[in-house]
Structure 1
C-alpha cells in the first residue's frame, strides 16, 4: 500500500515555535529571544565564569540566610508573547511563582545578573534593562569586564528603572533591601586576570 506523504507546510513558524525548535536543537546552549531575534549565546569563557563564581562567594551568605535559591539556567518570564532571557545568574525565593517549569516571573526574582560579552553589548545595555523593568525585575546587575564597570538598575516603575548606579571596577556597590549588602567589585576578577577597558 502506497504511503501518503503530507504536503510540506509553507506557513512561516511563529517566533515561539522557531524558538522552541532552536532550543530543542541546541539543548546545551543558552538560547534567548531579544528584540524579536533568536540569539544563541556563545559558551561562557573562563573569565566570564570566574566573575559569576566570585560574585557568588560574596552573596551566598545572604542568599542562604534568606532561604533563597541560586539559579544559573532559567528563563525570566517577560510576558506570553515577549522576549525570552536566560540570565547568567538569577536569585529567586524558595518557592517562586513560575510560568511553566522553566520560566520564573520577573517580579518574583531577587536579583538578575548579566556579564557582558562582546556580542551582547547592545542587548545587555539597552534591550534587557527595558524588558526587565517591564517585567518588574527588582534588581538587574550588569557586569562589563571590557569597560571595567558594574551597573545596578533598580526600582522598576511604569516599565522603566528609576535608579541606575554605575561604578568603576574596584569600587563598592550597595545592593538595597532586602539584600543590605555591599559588593566589592574589585573582587569580581581573580588577581591574575587582566582588567581590560576603562570606566566610561
Structure 2
C-alpha cells in the first residue's frame, strides 16, 4: 500500500514520518512503514519462505565473511539527501556498525541492501524501481534483489552520481553469482528454488 503523491510534487516531512512510524511500531509490531520518493509505504509482514531466504543468505554471509552482520531489522536513511526512510529486508555491514544509530541509520559504511520480493501488487514499483534508485542515491555499493516472481537474483552494483546502479547482473535462481566488492561473496542459489513459493 502506498500513500501520498509523486516525488516531484509532495514530500512528507521526515520528522513527521518518523513519529508516525514509531507510533505504529509501538501499537502493532506487525506494522512497519517506510518513506520512499516522498510516499509512505507499508512494509508487509513476511511469510515463512521469505524469512527462510533471509536466513539462507545470513548463513552464506557468515560463512564467507564472519566480520560482517546481515541485519534484518535496521532501517536506513536513503535517497540523495537522506530524506527517505527504507526498511530493507536485510542490510550487510561490519559487525556492530549500527550500534548507537537508532531506528534509521546513515547508510555510510553499509556494504549491501537486500530485498526479497513479496507477492503483492506494489512489488514492481517498490523493489524494482524505487528501492534501487534510493539505495544508489544513498551510495550503497550493492543492492541484492531476490525476485521470487521472476525466479531470478539481481545484483545491482556501481552506484552512479545520476542515482542509478550502472551494473545489473541477473542470474536465474539455481545459478551461481558473485556479489562484487566490497561484499565479495560467491553465492550458489540452487537452494533458493525451494523457497520461491
Calculate the TM-score normalised by the size of structure 2. 0.80
Matched, 1:72 2:72: yes
Q: Distance in 1 between matches of 2:108 and 2:14?
A: 24
Q: Moved runs in structure 1, 4+ residues, more than 6 A?
A: none
Q: Is the 8 A contact 1:143 1:150 kept in 2?
A: yes
Q: Distance in 1 between matches of 2:137 and 2:180?
A: 20
Q: Distance in 1 between matches of 2:131 and 2:47?
A: 21
User: Unaligned 5+ residue runs, structure 1?
Assistant: 1-12
Q: Secondary structure at the match of 2:54?
A: helix
Shift of residue 166, structure 1, vs aligned partner? 0.8
Map of 2:46 onto structure 1: 44
Q: Distance in 2 between matches of 1:57 and 1:16?
A: 36
Map of 2:6 onto structure 1: none
Calculate the TM-score normalised by the size of structure 1. 0.79
Matched, 1:182 2:183: no
Shift of the 76–98 alpha-carbon distance from structure 1 to 2, 3 Å rule, reads farther
Map of 1:114 onto structure 2: 115
Name which one, 1 or 2, has greater alpha-carbon Rg. 1
User: Unaligned 5+ residue runs, structure 2?
Assistant: 1-11
Matched, 1:157 2:160: yes
Q: Report matched runs for 1:76-115 at 5 Å.
A: 76-78=76-78, 82-96=83-97, 100-115=101-116
Aligned-residue CA RMSD in angstroms? 2.3
Quick one: which of 125, 130, 134 aligns to 2:128? 125
Shift of residue 184, structure 1, vs aligned partner? 1.1
Map of 2:8 onto structure 1: none
Shift of residue 95, structure 1, vs aligned partner? 4.9
Shift of the 180–70 alpha-carbon distance from structure 1 to 2, 3 Å rule, reads closer
